[in-house]
Structure 1
Amino acid sequence: MSKVVLVTGASSGIGKSIATFLSKKGCKVYGTSRNPKEIESFNFELIALDVLNIETIKKATAFIIEKEGRLDVLVNNAGMGITGPIEDTPTEEMRAVFNTNFFGAIDVMKAILPQMRKQKSGTIINVTSIAGYMGLPFRGLYSATKGALELVTESARMEVKSFGINIVNVAPGDFATNIAAGRYHTPVFEKSAYKEKYQENLDLMDSHVVHGMDPIEMAKTVFKIINTKNPKVHYKVGGFMEKFSIVLKRILPDKMYEKLLMNHYKL
């Protein structure tokens, strides 16, 4: 029986790649977008869901369950980026990115867990980030949202294990997507103490995305996970140095690791 899969944030980037790939592999895929009617047709069904709106989450999940009678996989991918010095970034924008990347993901999980408990089976894949394993300069809020989701995933995974449900994290590095266009960028204020360094790092971040990996690698990893009986807690998908940076953080003294990051970001 083909798996019924819900992929949030599937209108572009990593989410679109995952949904397209899983559909080609025979899964019944429902992707989500805040405004699906404005988007071109894909090889999967695109339905309305806004992770900031509980009613749209309930409506979308109820629609799938009523139509298919089950929901086997959730790929919690919807999210947003944010950049800026902590001092210069508006607090309301900080709250907004937490509402999307953290609380939004949790609300979607809460909506589908009753059905998965009823089925006594299911897989939830939370798309986090390699940036969630470390505090990166000018990306601290993004790192914080993804790191927080990593920890909640670890907790929830243990809570639902006895119901036959698996919850895992997949942390991508830099991928060639349109994420940079969708980020909230704190403006480079003329009188900011961080003006020059922040601008240099914005340019560096954009170049990383442009030269990032093909999002198909994320899709392949997700397909592997949903066909694994006992998946791991954490998966990392990225370049060698991106993944190695997590290892270095575990083994190096804090100040030595901080120095490596500061040298990399020219601080």
Structure 2
Amino acid sequence: MDWIQIIILALIQGLTEFLPISSSGHLILPAKLLGWRDQGHAFDIALHVGTLTAVVIYFREELIRMTAAFFKTGFSKQMDKDAKLAWAVIWGTVPVGLLGLLFSVFDVVDNYLRTISVIASTTIIFALLLWYVEKNVKHRRDEYSIGFKDIILVGIAQALALIPGTSRSGATIMAGLWLGLTRTAAARFSFLLSIPVIILSGGLTTLNLVQQPQPVMWGELISGFIIAAVSAFACIHFFLKLIDKIGMMPFVWYRLVLGIVLFGIVLSQ
């Protein structure tokens, strides 16, 4: 990849990873419109690790409190709210971990799901679901109020986001809103839930890259990582400040337009 491609793809990843608009849909657009070759799974993971760094730095104080509370009261009957939230993140990761393992064994994503048609379809389907919960559910709860059944529902939504175009943040925010969380609470829980998922996927792929005999373009991966990290941090900051003011409808309309554009590319091929 040349430097323009690296910069554009990393910026797209950083700016779309935590917005409910599907980073996969945006990453595939410039490749198809400009004739770029697919950047590959390794570069995708490098960008995701960059966004992981951003979310860990942004939520560093919450993560420190959650970790301390987890070891202090996480195994007692009198868990405080931060320990409960830590357990929520752990249990919410289980569904995506199980489904991700199954997908990796059969290489489902790269062989069957990484297509424009699939991405366009999931982009539109989850736009309509997001539309429904925005308009029909009252949002009053915070992230500390969720119970075990709530956690599993959000976890299942995150597992479905393994299908390209779904948007991990879009699926988990949608599930949180479905449960009655406020927009900010749903977004915050979604961002915290991303941490173990990106660690697992990024760690496994990095191990595979180190072990493979072919040369790895570490310069490309590291550059993409840095750009994605910086842009993702800015995105998280402004998204949380604005989400209660603007609501979810701008993202619904954006996803619908993006899905139509992607279907247009399919029909033109």
TM-score range, shorter chain: 0.3 to 0.5
* Greater share of strand: 1
- The structure, 1 or 2, with the larger RCO (C-alpha pairs under 8 Å, 6+ apart) is 2
* Greater share of helix: 2
TM-score by length of 2: 0.33
